[in-house]
């Protein structure tokens, strides 16, 4: 199968053998695609190597004959955002989520659009935690794992004053007042769920509760093996307490 003039975002790239690179991209029409870019070393191939950097928006041509497509050419469509510090770590996080959860060669146009929006937001002054919660919501929806955030698993309207744990299969479950501290720590406030449902940025405490609740859902779909970005954020958090939370 030929893939021609396909727009995509680069998720990951690593050297392969002496002169080649293995690249994972999220494309507009083909979903996540694995590419083998042969012979990209040397000064004459520098523009191609630059186009294959993570978070770069590209247009590429390739031929798919097996699990990997052979890259015939690629060009950058814009200048990738220059991210540093916590924003760079957030960029690594969203790419890793797509790599782990999106199957190859399965079109997900909404995920492609959500990734592009999030990539742009990472370069703005929007709080990183809110940017990431919006992406997690959109990713789950695009992959068919999402659920309503304004009604609970029994069809009852979310109570802003209550707390809810997020069941990966059934959605919000209201937390009883006698549940333990761990359950409360992993629960989101009803106000936070309603804010996320309507795309309204919640207050700081509510936003923090969304991180903990959504992580349990993501961990379920990741199958028990966590993310490298989670480990790195945890390590950085012990060094500098104000590190942006994934």
Which CATH number covers residue 12? 2.40.50.140
Average pLDDT, the chain: 90
Report pLDDT digits (tens) over 174-195: 998 755 566 677 899 999 999 9
State whether 123 and 194 are in the same domain. Answer: yes
Domain total of the chain: 2
State whether 90 and 185 are in the same domain. Answer: yes
State whether 71 and 100 are in the same domain. Answer: no
pTM confidence score: 0.91
Last residue of a domain, one of 76, 108, 123: 76
Residue 161 C-beta-side C-alpha neighbours within 13 Å: 1
State whether 63 and 109 are in the same domain. Answer: no
State whether 143 and 27 are in the same domain. Answer: no
Contacts of 213 (CB under 8 A, 6+ apart): 164, 165, 166, 186, 187, 188, 192
CA angle 241, 242, 246 (to 5 degrees): 105
Higher per-residue confidence, 8 vs 39: 8
Last residue of a domain, one of 76, 100, 133: 76
Report pLDDT digits (tens) over 149-167: 999 999 999 999 999 999 9
Contacts of 6 (CB under 8 A, 6+ apart): 27, 28, 29, 30, 59, 60, 61, 62
State whether 36 and 153 are in the same domain. Answer: no
* Domain extent at residue 105: 85-239
Report pLDDT digits (tens) over 86-112: 999 999 999 999 999 999 999 999 999
């Amino acid at each position: 199968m030929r893939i021609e003039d396909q727009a995509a975002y680069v998720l990951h790239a690593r050297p392969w053998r002496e002169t080649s690179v293995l690249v994972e991209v999220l494309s507009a029409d083909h979903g996540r695609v694995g590419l083998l870019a042969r012979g990209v070393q040397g000064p004459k191939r520098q523009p191609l190597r630059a186009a294959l950097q993570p978070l770069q928006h590209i247009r590429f041509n390739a031929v798919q004959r097996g699990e990997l497509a052979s890259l015939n050419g690629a060009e950058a469509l814009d200048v990738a955002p220059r991210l540093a510090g916590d924003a760079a770590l957030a960029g690594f996080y969203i790419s890793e989520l797509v790599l782990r959860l999106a199957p190859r060669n399965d079109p997900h146009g909404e995920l492609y659009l959500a990734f592009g929006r999030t990539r742009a937001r990472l370069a703005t002054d929007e709080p990183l935690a809110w940017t990431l919660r919006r992406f997690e919501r959109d990713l789950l929806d695009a992959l068919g794992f999402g659920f309503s955030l304004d009604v609970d698993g029994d069809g009852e309207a979310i109570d802003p004053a209550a707390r809810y744990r997020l069941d990966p299969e059934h959605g919000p479950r209201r937390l009883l007042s006698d549940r333990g501290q761990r359950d409360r720590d992993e629960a989101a406030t009803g106000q936070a769920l309603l804010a996320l449902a309507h795309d309204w940025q919640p207050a700081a405490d509510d936003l923090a509760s969304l991180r903990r609740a959504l992580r349990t859902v993501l961990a379920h779909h990741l199958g028990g093996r966590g993310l490298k970005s989670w480990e790195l954020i945890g390590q950085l958090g012990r060094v500098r307490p104000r590190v942006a939370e994934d």
